[in-house]
Amino acid sequence: MKKNSILIVEDENIVALNIKKKLESDGYVVPDVFSTGEEAIEAFPALMPDLVLMDILLRGDMDGIQSAELLRSKYNVPVVFLTAYADEETISRAKHIEPFGYIVKPFTDRDLKLTVELALYRRKMETERKQLEEQLRQAQKMEAIGRLSGGIAHDFNNIITVIMGYTSLAKEKAAENSSIEYELQGIHQAALKASNLTRQLLTFSRGQQLKPENIDLHSLIKNMEKMIRRLISGQISIHLHLNAEHSCVHVDPGQMEQVLLNLAVNASDAMPDGGRIVIASKNEKKALILSVTDTGQGIDETIKSKIFEPFFTTKPVTEGTGLGLATVYGVVQQSGGSIKVISEKGKGSTFRISLPVSDEKAEDSEYPLRIDKPPGGKETVLLVEDEKPLREVLSQFLVKAGYTVFPASNAGEAILIFENQNSGIDLLITDIVMPHMNGKKLAERLLNESTSLKVLLMSGYIDEKFTGESFLKKPFSQSQLLTRVRDILDTTQ
C-alpha cells in the first residue's frame, strides 16, 4: 500500500525536524523540508506530495498564506497551517485558500496526527466525490447524446425513405434507359449506406431494437470473411483462429456483423502500411471470447478511455463519424456481453469481446426472397404521415398498386376523413410520432369506431412496444411496404 507523502514548509529548523520525525514514526513519507515558500514551490513538481504542512510566518518574500494559495491554485494540493498566529486578520486571510486544517503552536503530537489524518481523509473523500461527479456528468452527456442521436436518426429515416421511394419510382420509368438506371442505382446504394448510419445512431442511443437469435458465431465470421477482405487494404492479411468449442451465442446476427465490420475497418485504419488482423475465439467458463487483434500503431494511453465514446475520433473530419466503436460498445452491451481494449502505443491493439454462450442450438437464418413485382389490391387505405414528401411518395406506391388512398397530414384530418367515409376504410397506415395525437392513440380511437379496421404503424424510432407484422420500421422500400400491406389485409381477424 502506497504511503502518503507530506511536505513540510517551516523556517524553524528544530520544529521542522521534530515534525518530520513524528510523521515518519506514524508511517508517512516526508520527501523534503523547506524554510521558504519560494523553495517549496520550485521543488513541488518533482515531489508532488499528498499534503503540505505550512507555517504562516516564513523567511523570504512570500509568507505561508501566499505560498499556500499558489500551490492550491496550481496543483490543487491540500494545505494544513502550522502557526503561532490565531488573530482574526490572519485567520481571515487563511480562510480564503480553504485550508484542510489549522493548528496553533504549540501543539501536541496527538493534535498533529489527528489533523493530518483528517486532512488526508478529507482529500480522499473529495477525490472520490469529484470522480463520481465526473462519472455522473459523463453519464448525463451520454444520455443527452443518445436522445439527440435517436431524434436525428428518426428524421434521417424519413428522408431516406423518401429518397429510396422516388428512386424506386424513377427506376420503373427508366427501365429501358440503362444509363439512367445505373445512376439511380447509385442513389439507392447511397441511401442504404445512410440507412446503416442511422442504424448505428439508434444502436448507440439504445433506440434500435435488437432481434437476437441463437447463431453459430464461427459460421457468421466465416461468412463475413470475404466481405471484410473487400473492405480492407490489400496489404493486410486476415487470419482466423476459431478455437472455441462452444460457439453458439444469442445475439442479433445483423448487429454482430456490424460489430465485426467496424472492428475490422478500425484495425485496417490503424495499419496504413499493411499488417495482419487476427480474429480469434476461445471459451472461458460459460463465455465465448471473441478477439480482433491488429499489428498497427496502437492506442495512446491518454485516449484509451475515450475510444468508445460517441463522435470521438482521431481521424480527419471527412474520414470518420466517431460512431464505429460506440456502435460496437452499444451492441455488445445490449447483447449481455462486455468489451475491453488491450493496447500499447506502437504494439498494436486487441479488442476483446465476452459473450454468454447459449445452451441452445443455432437457428437457421431465413432470408426472404426478393419480390420483383410487389402485390397490390383494391382496398381503401387511410395514410397518415406529417412529413409531406414522405406522404406523397407512399401515396404513389399505394395508388400504383391499385389501392384507393386518402392521405392525411395529422390525426385530426384522419379522423374527419374516417368519419366522412362511414367506416369504409380497410387499412390505417400511420406514423407513430406526430404532433397533437400520436399514431398509436389515433389507431385506438378509430378501432373503437370500426372493429374491422386493420392497422399498420410505422416509425423511424424503434420501440420495443412496437413489433411484429403491424409495425414497419423506416426506412423501407416500395416492395417492403406493399408486401406488408397485403399480408395485413389478407390476415383474418
pLDDT in tens, 77-126: 999 998 887 788 888 888 888 899 999 888 899 999 999 999 999 998 98
Whole-model pTM: value is 0.46
Tell whether omega for the bond before 374 is within 30 degrees of 0, i.e. cis. no
C-alpha cell at 352: 476483446
Q: Which residues, including other chains, have CB under 8 Å from residue 421's CB and lie 6 or more apart? A: 380, 382, 406
Q: 227 or 241, which is more confident?
A: 241
Q: 85 or 368, which is more confident?
A: 85
- pLDDT above 50: residue 353: yes
Fold agreement (6-107, 380-490): yes
The predicted structure's pLDDT at residue 317 = 44
- pLDDT above 70: residue 199: no
The predicted structure's pLDDT at residue 453 = 93
380-490 carries CATH number 3.90.1300.10? no
The predicted structure's pLDDT at residue 232 = 81
Q: Can you list the alpha helix ranges (DSSP code H) found in 174-276?
A: 178-204, 217-231, 253-269
- In percent, the amount of the chain with pLDDT more than 70 equals 81
C-alpha cell at 11: 523556517
- pLDDT above 60: residue 203: no
The predicted structure's pLDDT at residue 371 = 40
Q: What is the DSSP string of 451-478?
A: TT-EEEEEESS--TTS-STTEEESS--H
pLDDT level of residue 298 (50, 70, 90 thresholds): confident
Query: Can you tell me the mean pLDDT for 334-361?
Result: 89
Chain segment 123-139, per-residue pLDDT in tens: 989 888 887 877 677 66
> Average pLDDT over the chain, rounded to whole?
83
Angle at 383 between CA 379 and CA 384, to 5 degrees: 160
Query: Can you tell me the mean pLDDT for 418-447?
Result: 90
Chain segment 389-402, per-residue pLDDT in tens: 889 989 999 999 99
- pLDDT above 80: residue 144: no
The predicted structure's pLDDT at residue 313 = 64
The predicted structure's pLDDT at residue 265 = 86
**β-bridge mates for residue 282, sequence order:** 289
- pLDDT above 60: residue 463: no
Sequence spans of domains, the chain:
6-107, 144-204, 213-356, 380-490
Among 343, 171, 189, 194, residue whose Cα is nearest residue 270: 343
- CATH fold for the domain made of 6-107: Rossmann fold (3.40.50)
Tell me which of 154-158, 186-190, 389-393, 474-478 is least confident. 186-190
Query: Can you tell me the mean pLDDT for 419-439?
Result: 89
The predicted structure's pLDDT at residue 168 = 78
Tell me which of 168-172, 275-279, 296-300 is least confident. 168-172
Q: 465 or 27, which is more confident?
A: 27
- pLDDT above 90: residue 217: yes
The predicted structure's pLDDT at residue 367 = 34
- CATH fold for the domain made of 213-356: Heat Shock Protein 90 (3.30.565)
Query: Can you tell me the mean pLDDT for 271-282?
Result: 92
pLDDT level of residue 286 (50, 70, 90 thresholds): confident
The predicted structure's pLDDT at residue 183 = 63
For CA atoms 416, 420, 421, 422, the dihedral sign is positive
Q: What is the DSSP string of 379-445?
A: -EEEEE-SSHHHHHHHHHHHHHTT-EEEEESSHHHHHHHHHHTTT---EEEEES--SSS-HHHHHHH
